[in-house]
Structure 1
Amino acid sequence: MKIAASKKKDFWAGVMLMSLGGAAIFLARDYPFGSTMRMGAGYFPSILGAILVLFGIYITVVGLRSHETITVHCSFRAVLLLSLSLI
């Protein structure tokens, strides 16, 4: 069985990174930021959150611009047996 998968996983990965970065920035807002010479407790999580948001934006744009489809070979029997093994 062949399944045509699109590059939408890049889109959702970018959304996930932006969500994690936004959450890090949101949670770090209560900590003192400080300055570059004297960093506070909120400096590092805020910077890492911003980097995650930027990477997320990039990956989301790449996922939206790509129209390439990937053919994935999938065995129906393997999927069925794996599903039954979880019961």
Structure 2
Amino acid sequence: MSHTKLYAAIYVVLFAFATIQAVVEYAGFLEQSYWLAFWAIIVLSVIKAVIVAAYYQHLRWEPRAVSYLVVGGVVAAVALTAAASFSIT
């Protein structure tokens, strides 16, 4: 039963972060300070991804080796994406 309360609280936090992202995007912050809004949305997205991976994908309770494997995969995906973006001309 305690996991239900934890998951409900995490859902509320994720919902609040998504709402903040929508407000930043649609409230006109992009016209005033594009890069500030951009980085605010990126930071909130990273926080949300870490929360989802830790709790909903149960990485928090897995051995650290599994978490390091996931982080290694994410780093490889980002590196390949960056390399692909530089090869497009």
The TM-score, its normalising length taken from structure 1, stands at 0.45
Task: Tell me which structure has the larger Cα radius of gyration.
Answer: 1
Greater helix share, structure number: 2
Structure showing greater relative contact order (alpha-carbon pairs closer than 8 Å, 6 or more residues apart)? 1
Structure 1 or 2: larger strand share? 1
